[in-house]
Amino acid sequence: MTLPSTPIDAQALEELPGFYIRRLQQIAVAIFLEETQDFGITPVQFAALTAIHREPGLDQRTLAGRIGFDTSTLGSVIDRLEARGLVMRSNSPTDRRVRLLHLTDAGVTLLRDIDPSMRKAQLRMLAPLPPEQRLVFMDMLRTLLEANNVLSRAPSQA
């Protein structure tokens, strides 16, 4: 793909990958929220719960790195999950400033219950692609993310 050498005008948006990436992210969030509406959870909350489930006792800073989310905003995400009784914080035995995160039984149950809806959302996102192109597309996404991770305002450290 070659980008136009003339100045960008409103008609040229369709030639810019960033335009499509932003729109695809909006669509992905909309599909996720539609499929999981019974659970009242956002994609970022889902990512946080999944990472905490995978690594119980994770601290907030490490969690932010795992899911590629800025630490200041993640605090309010964790506040909401804690208020819903899905996550609990405990003090670190080695550093009183650090709060360790664990899923509650309700958090584990929610992750189990939301799984079919979340998977349906993922399939819907990829449904327009022929099955043989879906893995290729996912590989291409990973390549772009890994190569550009350091440029993110919240680089993933997973």
Q: Is 91 helix (H, G, I), strand (E, B) or coil?
A: strand
Q: What is the pLDDT of residue 84?
A: 97
**Mean per-residue pLDDT pooled into runs of 10, the chain (158 residues):** 62 81 96 98 97 95 91 92 97 86 98 98 97 96 91 72
Query: What pLDDT does 150 receive?
Result: 85
Q: Which CATH class is domain 12-131?
A: mainly alpha
3 state SS of 80 = helix
Closest to 87 (Cα-Cα) out of 98, 97, 100, 96: 100
Confidence at residue 91, expressed as pLDDT on a 0 to 100 scale: 87
Sequence ranges of the domains in the chain:
12-131
Q: Would you state the pLDDT for residue 136?
A: 97
pLDDT value for 93 = 85
